[in-house]
Amino acid sequence: MATIALGPRRYEIDLVVFDKDGTLIDFYHLWGERARLGVEAVTARLGGDATLAERLYRGIGYDPTSGRAAASGPLAIASMPKLYTVCAVVLYQHGLDWREAERVAHEIFAGALGALPTADVVKPIGTPRALCERLRAAGVKIALVTSDDRVPTLETLRLLRISEHVAEIVCGDDPIPNKPAPDALLHLSRILAVPVSRVMMVGDTLGDIATGRNAGIACCAAVLSGTGQPAELAAVADVIIPSIAAIEVVG
């Protein structure tokens, strides 16, 4: 058991569960670029229709002009298969038959959005490796819950050099209900033998916080480094911090 400080608040914690995008890495540095590449690839395949591009951006919840994603939109919180379905629906509504819409979504859109991350697009927030080392040294277990797929998630952890510190991960393509269902946290609590009363969830979206709330964990900590809006997060989180850089192990 360790004492973790989040500003003036103190929590006795045995397991810290992190979200990935917007929490450990810069959401927009990765997903803003992926969204642009995905939409451009699809529209180029279908003749460069600007109206279609606008519909695709709106469908996934991303504004290419401001470079911002809707905090509760698909790009920010949905699993990859759901994003591909959104793309297929937009293409169907644009005039493609359903089978062709699905094919383009899974071959063209997914090719860009679901590509393996590379070092140039994985931009750490704070120093995840140093934080993981401090937590592990204090006897705290570390896990990850993300809406992203498992293969790119494992590659992201490798690029961050924290793979050896993360005991377990739950991903969007695992056979476990996605956030905000509590199942991922309850699963981690069970297999890592840590009671929910000793678990902390750290994430940047309402979905992350709701997952913790639904699981009845000790602390739901919101970070302001991702897509979540401060006022919305303040209404549901136990504590708000600027980023994971504010997490301190004090005992």
Of 184, 155, 186, 182, the closest CA to residue 171 belongs to: 184
The answer for residues whose C-beta is within 8 angstroms of residue 164's C-beta and 6 or more apart is none
Over residues 34-79, the pLDDT tens digits come to: 999 999 999 999 998 899 999 999 999 999 999 999 988 999 999 9
Which of 76, 66, 82 has its CA nearest to residue 205?
A: 76
pTM recorded for the entire structure: 0.93
Tell me the mean pLDDT in the region 76-105: 96
Q: Answer whether residue 251 shows pLDDT above 80.
A: no
The pLDDT assigned to 48 comes to 85
pLDDT tens sequence across 180-228: 999 999 999 999 999 999 999 999 999 999 999 999 999 999 999 999 9
Q: What is the rounded average pLDDT for all residues in the chain? A: 96
Residue 103 confidence (pLDDT) = 97
Peptide bond into 182 cis (omega under 30): no
User: What average pLDDT does range 18-22 have in this prediction?
Assistant: 98
Of 181, 228, 50, 194, the residue nearest 243 (C-alpha): 228
Enclosing H/E stretch for 144 = strand 141-145
**pLDDT, tens only, 164-190:** 999 999 999 999 999 999 999 999 999
pLDDT tens column, 140-159: 999 999 999 999 999 999 99
Map out the domains of the chain with their CATH numbers.
Answer: 2-26+123-249 (3.40.50.1000), 28-113 (no CATH)
